[in-house]
């Protein structure tokens, strides 16, 4: 090996050691936002989460998001979906509360009734792109903002936001969780030009700033997260298995973590934004679930296998 190679190798391992140390410091902040289990709490205190999504075509995505919220530690998990999706989702799980309201004329009112009892909403998994449904979701987002309810926006919820960025502009309790395509779409909608693929950090930072400091989580080989001030990178080891539904696990988990983080407040997150810390927690957890499931199932790993790992992955990362 030449001198140059040795130099590069050392520089790389120093960089790696540095980023592992950064990750460990941020994981410690995630640990600070997790509420202790206590016999004095009543059902609901650790989180009542709503998922808005689920249509005729997609029933798996809202299920994955809602069950993940429960497995992470929420007490109650609701799904607000189109009527055709409801019996299917109910049949997957007796643990979810399912409201077949999204395609009814009074959809916004039907969801609004529940808002006072919900701590966070996850908007978009399996929603589809039907205009009437998206129009109702627009009303639900406006009602949530008016009540200051935190919202995680994912999947087709991001499609809606790309059509109308004003919907979440400046709403500091919003977290967006785009995948590669969804990020490009949002970026193009806001900046009227393509993403600079050589500067992922800068792109995520700029998008967050342009949207008025909403938290943005760009998922990928490494997850890049920003609140418009800080940029974090989550490189928790996952696997090379990319089955559909992993993003739904992430957004459902994030619904609960966002609620916990806002309850705790910035004193315990060392000045970092609580939402950014929550997002880092959800990314690390999803990737750890993927890693553990892959160890057992290899190429046949599916999102259901990952959900079965939530409990042990959570303890390993956050309760050690
Ligand atoms: N079981 C269920 O019910 C599930 C339902 N789901 C629901 O499906 C709905 C649509 O969601 P979505 O993610 O398919 O969205 P969309 O914007 O059409 O992008 C997809 C296209 O983007 C591309 N692409 C992706 N990654 C890329 C990359 N790194 N680099 C480059 N390209 C990349 C790729 O394009 P291709 O390779 O096909 O050309 C891919 O086809 C939504 O409601 C969601 O919640 C899912 O949650 C899964 C489980
Ligand atoms: N190349 C990769 N290597 C490791 N992890 C990845 C990679 N790409 C994505 N992930 C992880 O997979 C999870 C889901 O990201 P992904 O980009 O697949 O979302 P998605 O397309 O919205 O998924 P879904 O199928 O649920 O809609 C995230 O935790 C992300 O960190
Ligand atoms: Mg997705």
301-318 residue pLDDT tens = 999 999 999 999 999 999
* Nearest CA owner, ligand 2 atom 10: 220
Architecture of domain 20-33+42-319: 3-Layer(aba) Sandwich (3.40)
Q: What would the pLDDT profile of 68-87 be if each residue is shown by its tens digit?
A: 999 999 999 999 999 999 99
Q: β-strand 120-123 against 97-100: which pairing, if any?
A: unpaired
Tell me the average pLDDT of the chain. Answer: 95
- Rounded to the nearest 10°, the torsion over CA 76, 81, 84, 87 is 0
Number of the ligand 2 atom closest to the C-alpha atom of 287: 29
User: Cα separations (Å) of 146 from 117, 168, 171, 173, 319?
Assistant: 14, 12, 10, 11, 35
| Residue 10 predicted with pLDDT over 70 | no
Number of the ligand 2 atom closest to the C-alpha atom of 250: 29
| Residue 13 predicted with pLDDT over 70 | no
| Residue 122 predicted with pLDDT over 70 | yes
- For ligand 2, whether the C-beta of 248 sits within 6 Å is yes
* Nearest CA owner, ligand 1 atom 13: 155
Is there a binding annotation on residue 4?
A: no
| Confidence at residue 3, expressed as pLDDT on a 0 to 100 scale | 57
What ipTM was estimated for this complex? 0.95
* Nearest CA owner, ligand 2 atom 21: 179
| Confidence at residue 22, expressed as pLDDT on a 0 to 100 scale | 82
Backbone angles phi, psi at 112, to 5 degrees: -55, -35
216 vs 119: CA distance, rounded Å? 20
Sign of CA dihedral 33, 34, 39, 45: positive
Please report which confidence band the pLDDT of residue 1 belongs to, taking 50, 70 and 90 as the band edges. very low
Between 15-19, 49-53, 55-59, 67-71, the lowest mean confidence (pLDDT) is in: 15-19
215 vs 25: CA distance, rounded Å? 20
Which of 67, 179, 218 has most ligand 2 atoms within 8 Å of its beta carbon, as the pocket-test mutant?
179
Please report which confidence band the pLDDT of residue 5 belongs to, taking 50, 70 and 90 as the band edges. low
| Residue 8 predicted with pLDDT over 70 | no
Q: How far apart are the first and last CA of the chain?
A: 40
Angle between helices 274-297 and 246-264 in degrees, nearest 10: 140
- For ligand 2, whether the C-beta of 236 sits within 6 Å is no
| Confidence at residue 20, expressed as pLDDT on a 0 to 100 scale | 74
* Beta pairing partners, 194: none
* Nearest CA owner, ligand 2 atom 23: 247
| Confidence at residue 23, expressed as pLDDT on a 0 to 100 scale | 87
Which of 205, 215, 115 shows the shortest CA–CA distance to 173? Answer: 215
| Residue 215 predicted with pLDDT over 90 | yes
Number of the ligand 1 atom closest to the C-alpha atom of 128: 43
| Residue 45 predicted with pLDDT over 70 | yes
Expressed in angstroms and rounded, the spacing between residue 181 Cα and the centre of ligand 1 is 8
b/e per residue 42-71 (b: at least 16 CB within 10 A): eeeebbbbbbbbbbeebbbbbbbbbbbbbb
Please calculate the CA angle 78-79-83 and round it to the nearest 5 degrees. Answer: 140
Q: β-strand 151-153 against 120-123: which pairing, if any?
A: parallel
Which of 75, 84, 79, 88 shows the shortest CA–CA distance to 111? Answer: 79
Q: What would the pLDDT profile of 248-304 be if each residue is shown by its tens digit?
A: 999 999 999 999 999 998 889 999 999 999 999 999 999 999 999 999 999 999 999
Over residues 52-63, the mean pLDDT reads 98
Q: Tokens for 172? A: 């500091």
| Confidence at residue 265, expressed as pLDDT on a 0 to 100 scale | 86
Which of 247, 279, 243, 220 shows the shortest CA–CA distance to 62? Answer: 247
User: What are the structural domain ranges in the chain?
Assistant: 20-33+42-319
Is there a binding annotation on residue 45?
A: no
Helices (H), the chain: 3-33, 60-72, 86-92, 107-112, 131-146, 155-163, 180-191, 200-210, 246-264, 274-297, 303-307, 310-318
Expressed in angstroms and rounded, the spacing between residue 17 Cα and the centre of ligand 1 is 33
* Nearest CA owner, ligand 2 atom 17: 179
174 vs 226: CA distance, rounded Å? 12
| Confidence at residue 19, expressed as pLDDT on a 0 to 100 scale | 73
289 vs 311: CA distance, rounded Å? 9
- For ligand 2, whether the C-beta of 206 sits within 6 Å is no
| Confidence at residue 18, expressed as pLDDT on a 0 to 100 scale | 57
Expressed in angstroms and rounded, the spacing between residue 192 Cα and the centre of ligand 2 is 25
Number of the ligand 2 atom closest to the C-alpha atom of 179: 17
Concatenated DSSP letters of 39-105: TTPPTTTT-EEEEE---SS--HHHHHHHHHHHHHT-SEEEEEE-TTTHHHHHHH-TTSEEEE-TTST
Q: Greatest CA separation found in the chain?
A: 71
Q: What would the pLDDT profile of 92-104 be if each residue is shown by its tens digit?
A: 999 999 999 999 9
Between 101-115, 211-225, 265-279, the lowest mean confidence (pLDDT) is in: 265-279
Per cent of the chain over pLDDT 90 is: 88
| Confidence at residue 15, expressed as pLDDT on a 0 to 100 scale | 57
**Pocket around ligand 1 at a 6 A CB cut-off:** 58-61, 125-128, 155-156, 179-182, 244-245, 247-248
């Amino acid at each position: 090996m030449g001198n140059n190679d040795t130099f590069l190798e050392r520089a790389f391992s120093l960089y790696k050691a540095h980023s592992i140390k950064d990750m460990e410091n941020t994981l410690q902040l995630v640990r600070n936002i997790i509420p202790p289990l206590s016999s004095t709490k009543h059902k609901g205190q650790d989180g009542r989460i709503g998922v808005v999504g689920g249509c005729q075509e997609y029933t798996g995505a809202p299920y994955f998001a809602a069950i993940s919220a429960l497995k992470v530690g929420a007490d109650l998990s609701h799904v607000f979906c189109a009527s055709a999706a409801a019996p299917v989702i109910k049949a997957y799980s007796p643990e979810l509360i399912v409201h077949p309201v999204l395609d009814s004329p009074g959809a916004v009112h039907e969801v609004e009734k529940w808002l006072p009892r919900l701590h966070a909403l996850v908007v978009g998994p399996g929603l589809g792109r039907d205009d009437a449904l998206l129009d109702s979701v627009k009303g639900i987002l406006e009602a949530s903002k008016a009540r200051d309810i935190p919202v995680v926006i994912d999947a087709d919820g991001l499609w809606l936001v790309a059509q109308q960025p004003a919907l979440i502009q400046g709403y500091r309790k919003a977290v967006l969780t785009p995948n590669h395509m969804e990020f490009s779409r949002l970026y193009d909608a806001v900046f009227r030009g393509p993403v600079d693929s050589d500067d992922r950090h800068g792109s995520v930072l700029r998008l967050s700033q342009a949207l008025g400091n909403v938290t943005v989580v760009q998922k990928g080989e490494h997850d890049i997260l920003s609140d418009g001030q800080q940029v974090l990178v989550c490189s928790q080891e996952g696997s090379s298995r990319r089955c559909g539904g992993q993003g739904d696990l992430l957004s459902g988990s994030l619904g609960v973590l966002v609620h916990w983080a806002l309850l705790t407040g910035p004193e315990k997150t060392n000045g970092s934004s609580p939402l950014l810390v929550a997002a880092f927690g959800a990314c690390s957890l999803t990737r750890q679930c993927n890693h553990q499931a892959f160890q057992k199932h290899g190429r046949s790993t599916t999102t259901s296998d990952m959900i079965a790992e939530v409990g042990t992955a959570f303890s390993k990362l956050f309760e050690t």
